[in-house]
Amino acid sequence: MEGYLNTTHELLSALGINHSSFCRFVSWALCEHLATSLVHDPQLPNSWLSDPEGLKNFRDYLRHTTQRHWSVHDLNALFDRVRSGRATHFREPVPYAEYLKLLWQVPFECAKCKRKPPEVQLHVDHIVPASKGGKSTRANLRFLCAKHNLRKSNKREEGEPWLDLQ
């Protein structure tokens, strides 16, 4: 086993990838994988996702299928993700008040490359995409230039695990 880990270390350093950012990325990918597999799990009825008692059923089911205990934080995060994954999506428009808050509170520049208009055109970006349950509220909004907005597409930022796994 130790030999295997050493090989992983060697591989990562050969590729110039930082070990802790690799671990963060893997955790993030596993969170996404678990949520996606639950969204498509035929044994998980939709009635649990709307029923007030549903969270309890969801917890028991998750405990049973994963053979581990889940923290309240992670349970809620997963439950929300599965629920929004099953719902039909439409992008809610950004309320004017939230847009104004954004304008007041952050510099009018791309959050990634710091370039400003007129050099670039700025878009309002959902940090957690609307298709994944992200809200159109100030805390979930930022400015991105066209280039960075397109690159991001519909993906969550990589390397930010959203489960504590504790």
Cα 4 from Cα 161, distance rounded (Å): 24
* Total residues binding Zn ion (CB under 5 A): 5
Residue closer to Zn ion, measured from CB, 45 or 117: 117
Residue closer to Zn ion, measured from CB, 138 or 148: 148
Residue closer to Zn ion, measured from CB, 91 or 151: 151
Cα 118 from Cα 124, distance rounded (Å): 16
**49 lies in the binding site for Zn ion (CB under 5 A):** no
Phi-psi region at 69: left, alpha or beta (left = phi > 0; alpha = psi -120 to 50): beta
With 0-12 / 13-18 / 19 or more C-beta atoms within 10 angstroms meaning exposed / middle / buried, residue 141 is: buried
SS3 of residue 42 by DSSP: coil
Give the contacts of 157 (CB within 8 A, at least 6 positions apart): 127
Residue closer to Zn ion, measured from CB, 89 or 115: 115
Contact pick of 110, 122, 130, 163 for Zn ion (by CB under 5 A): 110
Instruction: Please identify, among the stretches 4-12, 65-73, 79-87, 113-121, the one whose residues bind Zn ion according to the rule CB under 5 A.
Output: 113-121
**78 lies in the binding site for Zn ion (CB under 5 A):** no
Phi-psi region at 40: left, alpha or beta (left = phi > 0; alpha = psi -120 to 50): alpha
Contact pick of 74, 145, 162, 163 for Zn ion (by CB under 5 A): 145
Contact pick of 24, 59, 86, 112 for Zn ion (by CB under 5 A): 112
**150 lies in the binding site for Zn ion (CB under 5 A):** no
The site for Zn ion (CB under 5 A) is made up of 110, 112-113, 145, 148
